[in-house]
Structure 1
Amino acid sequence: MKIAIAQLNPIIGDIRNNANHIHKAANIAVERGAKLLLTPELSLCGYPPKDLLLNASFIDNLWTEVEQLAEKVPKDLAVLVGTVVKNSHAFLEGEKSLFNSIILIENQTIKQIFHKRLLPTYDVFDEDRYFEAGKESNYFQLSSNVPNAKAIKIGVTVCEDLWNDEKFWGKRTYENNPIQDLVKHGVDLVVNLSASPYSIGKQKIREAMLKHSAKYYKIPIIYTNQVGGNDDLIFDGNSFAVSRKGEISLRTKGYQTAIEVINYDQNNEDLETSYVAHCLETEEEEIWSSLVLGLKDYASKCGFSKAILGLSGGIDSSLVAAIAAEALGKENVLGILMPSPYSSSHSISDAETLVNNLGINSQTLAIGDVMKAYDLLLEPLFKNTEFGVAEENLQSRIRGNLLMAIANKFGHLLLSTGNKSEMAVGYCTLYGDMNGGLAVISDLPKTRVFSLCEWLNRHQEVIPHNVIIKPPSAELKPDQLDQDSLPPYDVLDAILDRLIHRHQSIKEIVEMGFDYDTVCKIAKLVTRAEFKRKQAPPGLKISDRAFGTGWRMPIASRQKLD
């Protein structure tokens, strides 16, 4: 029996368009001889739909579209479609009103409905807010075209349902283990319909986990994942299948839509090897592919075709410009150079070299006269005070205003260029360099920005060499360097990793050999900068702890730092 995997890129809420893509995939699947088509979790509405699920008409429209889709798909193809289904027992039982469900369409009718059993509520996931957990194992039988062959018993799981195997993790996060339950029901094959967002190294974890489960339970598994960017989340696709021996039988190309077919051999009760795409070789290649996809989809799904950003001649804006040129096309990127009296000559020349390397459009707007106008206007209030942060930040806010004006005038998407290290400690200016519709690299620590630029230059110079080797500086006052205010970035990022990702205390970090006063200073800066992060544009998530949907820290707090 041939089974098709549709690695789709849905637009959240665009129900009719998403249904059309499922229909097209169904026709292709039939052309390739498939008997069953798998689509991702919530493939009809897109994941995550968030509070669109509170809209009753949205839920009704989903069901109407499912019914219409069932009538259109080829008669000799079974299709598993991810959608939302009402819980008819909600009010009587005190349960949530919806299920995260999979619809089985067979013979152009809705034959069965399966509900997701494990509902994640960590990081970016908040499914318990909307859904009731399914209580029963999900499986169905499907007859093949082979004469006298028995029907195949197929177990259905949804994303998180496969992430609770205590044999792999060494613990259980939930009470139930759906794959273990399906094995007890004697299924021949397990399919998983997912919307699993990208983070660095996650594909290796997925494959290791399912290899272990397939080998341990002696059952083949097919994993189908959503692809594309939705707000801050990036879905990498990378759908794959694992044989009962724990070997990869199929892997789609990541970061793009795809339809692949794999054969289930009923005699051997296993999957035959099909197309196996190569994994990306480095984390930098993963990150680059993710950020390009995330920016491309954010722009297109929000109705933007062109982007604008400020070019300082620094490494952050250089990297964002390179990502934008790749995602949107060099002709659709406008870089604005805004030198001040404090800008070094090499910063201007480095920015110009970058523009030439990328082939993007550029414009220079010197802000010296504007700075004088601000100084004159504020002189009555600022007289008899020392030059300080307020005056430094005026430059950034002037630039932010100019960028916003151009973005508004021409309908461009303004890209913020701050990195994670800066966002963590507040080394950024509200209503200045934080202005924008998308923060492209806000989940990349400064050290990762450097490594990504070096990777990008592996074959030819994209980022000017001088940009990479010169000491970072905001250039808001004479001879300013980032390390005047912050420890070296390798030290800073190591401390931030322990504070943010590993949740270590100051005592634990100091025990690792870091200076006590430095750690205390960084911890205090992270806490104090929370109000800035709450006002930042959405940032593309590439780690397991990003300053976005999954980051839920209070602003007004007096936590004891120890």
Structure 2
Amino acid sequence: MTSADRSSDLSRAGRLRLAVAQLNPVLGDVTGNLELARRARAEAAGQGADLVLFSELFLSGYPPEDLVLKPAFVAACREALDTLAGETADGGPGVLVGLPWREGDKLHNAVALLDAGRVVGVRFKVDLPNYGEFDEKRVFQPGPLPGPLGFRGLRLGVPVCEDSWNDEVCECLAETGAEILLVPNGSPFHAGKPEVRLQVMVQRVVETDLPLVYCNQVGGQDELVFDGASFALQADRSLAFQMGEFCEEIAVSDWRRDGETWICESGPRVALPDTDSARWQACVLGFRDYVEKNRFPGVVLGLSGGIDSAVVAAMAVDALGAERVHCVMLPYRYTSDESLADAQGCVDALGLRYDIVSIAPAVEGFTECLGPLFAGTHAGVTEENLQSRARGTILMAISNKFGAMVATTGNKSEMSVGYATLYGDMNGGFNPIKDLYKTQVYRLAAWRNANRPEALKGPDGIVIPENIITKVPTAELRENQTDQDSLPEYDVLDDILECLVENEMSVGEIEARGHDRELIHRIEHLLYIAEYKRRQSAPGVKITRKNFGRDRRYPITNRFRDRS
């Protein structure tokens, strides 16, 4: 069969078999991503697919940030594309795949159509996002408004990710003859994001009267988690198919042309997880990929007998398996028998390697060393922080000796108000609960005890002892200490923080919710003065709409306080 015959097949038959490749590329691993694309194409060919749709910037990985400013990297991506294009001469499926593309003096976020052994068309992303976690205008230049790509007699509209979140590009494609919209995406997760995506894509279908296929990346990349959850919509706005969330898969769907409209006749219909399940799985996936993609043999963490470290231990086991998780109890004179028992209960439930290392010699050594300098002063927070820093030093020493990454365990409530010790409990490489408020940590602990999604590596049943969930939280840095000695109740604190961080509400608006004005002022002040700590904290999974780091970029030096 000649290429001319091949190009007219789909047009004559009025049928299309489309494979959506929801996969987990590794940023910068161009060779590995090419091999992943090859395997996906081979699998799709085995199922008789005509075309394989990959996610945004698949060959490079997404988001590549300043890596695309390196000419050698862009050249490697183009070389991989040309190799893949050559392989389509076998008469198998065509390929829609993304990569950074240099055109003259401009660098574009591009998607290329490969068929019949060559690159048959390229489209450049028009609408470059520059908000929240995105800063594509820093490295890419926008392309012109596109027309459809011709593929075997079909006219494919290919808006790239953000191009489909606004109306201009999709309407242009419809007006210039596109028959179906195929959307490669790199859309990061936050709680509730799948529903947001669906509603936005429904708007594009309403405006264009075209069916739409939304292919999203899956996997962790530093702080971002891409959840997949790819889907398609019929031209009448009904759901055509729905792929799974937080999993790699290749879904094949059959499409039939009825008059001028393409109709999806088959495809998967997977139920998406509820909010708690999605949050837990996002934390686990982000944690797993950070460890795996950075090639750590495992993780080590301090297990205190409290809720945060217990949840991180459970997530670590779910992500990596118990054999790659090492927990260390680091007791001191203020560590209670209850905490020791709870830590042991957690270890027993999860099947962990567990060691107990007393920090007393280290703390007493520091105290003796500083004794002459501190003479005549009263013991206080400084001495409490020595305990935390001794623990941090010991965990880092274990990491240095055996190679496992230290996992940190501070939640968003603590990180917001600075209830954490630099070079102590903040030490480490990654924090899976960094973007979870304390109340959410408690909620997810209870949820995990009652649920275990299939992909997780941890055991069924109770993995976090009930006493850890119900007891009063404490840092145990002095006698009879509780978190509420320094902080309001967590349900109050978390509501105020969500108003300040996620919603940027004024003090007056927060007070109208029933909170004390003086308390709001105090929490706002703590939030601002802890910015220098957060700048030095480990990366962690983005769960909320606005995490610390990529989304919320406040100055450290800042005298503003809302006193209106």
Which category of TM-score, normalised to the shorter sequence, fits these structures?
over 0.9
Give the structure 2 partner of residue 242 of structure 1: 233
Gaps of 5+ in 1: 91-96, 144-150, 166-176
Does residue 7 of the first structure (1) align with residue 10 of the second (2)? Answer: no
Distance 1:372 1:187 in 2: 73
C-alpha deviation, 1:274, in angstroms: 2.6
The 5 Å alignment of 1:79-90 reads 79-88=95-104, 90=105
Distance 2:277 2:482 in 1: 30
Aligned with 1:351 (options 343, 353, 364): 343
C-alpha deviation, 1:280, in angstroms: 3.2
Q: For each residue in 1:45-101, what CA deviation from the matched residue of structure 2 results, as whole angstroms up to 9, or x when unmatched? A: 00011111111111111111111111123433211110011131x3xxxxxx30000
RMSD: 1.2
Give the structure 2 partner of residue 260 of structure 1: 251
Does residue 382 of the first structure (1) align with residue 391 of the second (2)? Answer: no
> Normalising by the residue count of structure 1, what TM-score does the alignment of the two structures yield?
0.94
Which SS does the other structure have where 2:464 is aligned?
A: coil
Distance 1:420 1:64 in 2: 43
Gaps of 5+ in 2: 1-15, 452-460
C-alpha deviation, 1:515, in angstroms: 0.2
Match for 1:65: what amino acid? A
Distance 2:175 2:61 in 1: 32
Distance 1:341 1:110 in 2: 68
Higher alpha-carbon deviation: 260-269 or 322-331: 260-269
Q: For each residue in 1:114-134, what CA deviation from the matched residue of structure 2 results, as whole angstroms up to 9, or x when unmatched? A: 000110000110000011111
Aligned with 1:30 (options 45, 53, 62): 45
Give the structure 2 partner of residue 65 of structure 1: 80
The number of aligned residues is: 537
Which SS does the other structure have where 1:478 is aligned?
A: coil
Does residue 52 of the first structure (1) align with residue 67 of the second (2)? Answer: yes
Distance 2:247 2:41 in 1: 18
Give the structure 1 partner of residue 433 of structure 2: 441
Q: For each residue in 1:197-244, what CA deviation from the matched residue of structure 2 results, as whole angstroms up to 9, or x when unmatched? A: 111010011112223332443210000011110111100011111111
Does residue 158 of the first structure (1) align with residue 156 of the second (2)? Answer: no
Give the structure 2 partner of residue 283 of structure 1: 275
Q: Is the 8 A contact 1:77 1:107 kept in 2?
A: no
The 5 Å alignment of 1:78-477 reads 78-88=94-104, 90=105, 97-143=106-152, 151-165=153-167, 177-267=168-258, 269-458=261-450, 460-477=461-478
Q: For each residue in 1:249-290, what CA deviation from the matched residue of structure 2 results, as whole angstroms up to 9, or x when unmatched? A: 111122121111111211352332433343334211001111
Which SS does the other structure have where 1:263 is aligned?
A: strand
Which SS does the other structure have where 1:335 is aligned?
A: strand
C-alpha deviation, 1:505, in angstroms: 1.4
The 5 Å alignment of 1:525-544 reads 525-544=526-545
Distance 1:61 1:240 in 2: 31
Q: Is the 8 A contact 1:313 1:350 kept in 2?
A: yes
Q: For each residue in 1:532-557, what CA deviation from the matched residue of structure 2 results, as whole angstroms up to 9, or x when unmatched? A: 00000111111110012222111112
Distance 1:72 1:152 in 2: 21
Distance 2:281 2:243 in 1: 15
C-alpha deviation, 1:380, in angstroms: 0.5
Q: Is the 8 A contact 2:56 2:217 kept in 1?
A: yes
Q: Is the 8 A contact 2:244 2:272 kept in 1?
A: no
> Normalising by the residue count of structure 2, what TM-score does the alignment of the two structures yield?
0.93
Which SS does the other structure have where 2:450 is aligned?
A: coil
Q: Is the 8 A contact 2:145 2:172 kept in 1?
A: no
Higher alpha-carbon deviation: 106-115 or 67-76: 67-76
Distance 2:379 2:331 in 1: 20
Q: Is the 8 A contact 2:256 2:265 kept in 1?
A: no
